[in-house]
Copies of this chain bind each other. A is one copy, B any other.
């Protein structure tokens, strides 16, 4: 698969983003949802800010307090045996078999704007910031679905009670309406289709299951975008393949002549994140027509291989212009990049079921 990576890559890096919080450093400006508005390409960046540690051996975990509307810092000692600090992203509770106790950074959404899709100017302030008790550990990995003149923006809402998917909407990228949590924990990687299919809205989502099952992609239906049901399992992991460890929806589904094209991420059990594609029936998106046996994009460039969390390409939004798919994607949990791929080449590369 040919991929034309922009010469300007990475398009936005943490160094380009001024911290919003005093005494913090920006460690990530990545996994951005994508929209076009007023002839501009907008990247809704996930900006991750980390409190600068006051001394070696101390990790500060930021927690938003919805009552005071301020961020409290939980001070943890790296020699505290109750915790495991080996993953730079999280602090684990050693008594729990899975999951984490704290995050080492606080994420929120900030807009970067561009006329040409390659050179971006970053807003001074957050666009969507944690605002309630389900978002005290931050909001992550936004996607944007435009329906008419309304942009629906949904993201992982992280707090000690779980990771769910919450949604806001805007018409102007200034004023925001909050719609609460649309998928309850444990869930992320939601992708709302840009139009109704046979009268219903559809969304992909990725439950993280504990009792039985694996992190696979599901599909749900809605009449109003707020309430979701008729959940059905759509695509699972494939042992030994590029998507054998973890998968989740990526970009908002693209309407093509052959079906709904979903650019999704898959990771191996060794946490190497690639992008591939699912093709879903135009009239029944619960039906998988084809799937990538090999990735359409994998971490090869230095900025994709090295960073806060290495070997990651992770798209949250793409456009189609003629035969060109402009896929924006987060790299190494650090920065943003863009690559152009041929739509026909992607469709021809799929294995049809």
Task: Provide the residues of chain B in CB contact with A183, threshold 8 Å.
Answer: 184, 231
Please measure, in the bound complex, the distance between the C-alpha atom of A184 and the C-alpha atom of B186, giving whole angstroms.
10
> Which of chain A's residues 255-282 have a Cβ closer than 8 Å to chain B?
none
Inter-subunit contact A213/B162 (CB<8 Å): yes
Tally of this chain's copies: 2
Chain B CB within 10 Å, residue with most, of A159, A163, A227? A227
Q: Mark A276-299, 1 if CB is under 8 A from B, else 0.
A: 000000000000000000000000
In this assembly, does A211 line the interface, its C-beta being within 8 Å of a C-beta of chain B?
yes
* Chain B residue nearest in CB terms to A215: B210
* Chain B residue nearest in CB terms to A233: B161
Please measure, in the bound complex, the distance between the C-alpha atom of A209 and the C-alpha atom of B214, giving whole angstroms.
13
Inter-subunit contact A213/B181 (CB<8 Å): no
> Which of chain A's residues 132-166 have a Cβ closer than 8 Å to chain B?
133-134, 137, 158-164
* Chain B residue nearest in CB terms to A100: B212
Inter-subunit contact A185/B213 (CB<8 Å): yes
In this assembly, does A230 line the interface, its C-beta being within 8 Å of a C-beta of chain B?
yes
Inter-subunit contact B98/A161 (CB<8 Å): no
Inter-subunit contact B182/A229 (CB<8 Å): yes
Inter-subunit contact B98/A210 (CB<8 Å): yes
Please measure, in the bound complex, the distance between the C-alpha atom of A183 and the C-alpha atom of B218, giving whole angstroms.
12
Inter-subunit contact B233/A163 (CB<8 Å): no
Task: Provide the residues of chain B in CB contact with A214, threshold 8 Å.
Answer: 161
Contact of A162 among B98, B100, B209 (CB under 8 A): B209
In this assembly, does A300 line the interface, its C-beta being within 8 Å of a C-beta of chain B?
no
Please measure, in the bound complex, the distance between the C-alpha atom of A69 and the C-alpha atom of B223, giving whole angstroms.
32
Please measure, in the bound complex, the distance between the C-alpha atom of A205 and the C-alpha atom of B298, giving whole angstroms.
39
> Which of chain A's residues 88-109 have a Cβ closer than 8 Å to chain B?
97-101
Q: How far in angstroms is the closest Cβ of chain B from A191?
A: 15
Please measure, in the bound complex, the distance between the C-alpha atom of A229 and the C-alpha atom of B213, giving whole angstroms.
23
In this assembly, does A51 line the interface, its C-beta being within 8 Å of a C-beta of chain B?
no
Task: Provide the residues of chain B in CB contact with A218, threshold 8 Å.
Answer: 184
> Which of chain A's residues 23-58 have a Cβ closer than 8 Å to chain B?
none
Task: Provide the residues of chain B in CB contact with A213, threshold 8 Å.
Answer: 99, 159-163, 185-186
| Other 18 A-B pairs with CB < 8 A, given A186-B186, A186-B208 | A97-B97, A98-B98, A99-B210, A99-B211, A134-B233, A159-B212, A161-B216, A161-B236, A162-B209, A162-B213, A163-B209, A163-B212, A163-B213, A182-B231, A184-B231, A185-B211, A208-B209, A227-B229
**Chain A positions near chain B (C-beta within 8 angstroms):** 97-101, 133-134, 137, 158-164, 179-187, 205, 207-214, 216, 218, 220-224, 226-233, 236
A-B complex: 7 closest residue pairs judged by Cβ atoms:
A97-B97, A227-B227, A184-B231, A162-B213, A227-B229, A210-B210, A180-B230
